[in-house]
Amino acid sequence: MDRISSSLIEELQSRGMRVTPQRAIIFEAIEKLEGHITAEEIFEQVQKVNPYVSLATVYRTLELLLELNLINQTNFGRSQAYFALKDHGPHHHLVCSECGYIEEFADTIFEPIRTELDKQYGFQAQTDHLSIFGLCRGCREKGAGG
């Protein structure tokens, strides 16, 4: 098997952690799939490479990556969690509660809020990856016109 080139492998090794062959396959799947992905999508990708890696192993690996602050976890109002590499950058999501539409928006919109929370309360807000639920323009227009 060729050596898998992976920033996640390199990051764990630089922290002195062991990278098992199963973890290497999972890391490769995460990096290949990109964006916001579910554990099940990762598992499907991993199964193509090694059918002996279990879904539980995928979940344990995701928990490790969350603990190490290498991935974000978000919920789009659905039953499953979605994961994204931290290098995806700080961003947020508008999630329509009616139709499920999801739109990303830049983190800069929260800068005044973070500044004000710090100024008024001495609170340093961690707003790396948020989902805000509401109604999209299309659903609002349908509701107003119907």
pLDDT single digits (tens) 31-81: 888 778 899 999 999 999 999 999 999 999 999 999 888 888 887 777 788
* CATH H-level superfamily of 90-145: Ferric-uptake regulator, C-terminal dimerisarion domain (3.30.1490.190)
pLDDT digits (tens, 9 = 90+) for 96-124: 888 888 888 888 888 899 999 999 999 99
pLDDT digits (tens, 9 = 90+) for 84-93: 887 666 778 8
* C-alpha dihedral (121, 125, 131, 132), degrees to nearest 10: 20
Pick the CATH number of 7-86 from 1.10.10.10, 3.40.50.720, 3.30.470.20, 3.20.20.140: 1.10.10.10
Region class of 119: left (phi > 0), else alpha (psi between -120 and 50), else beta: alpha
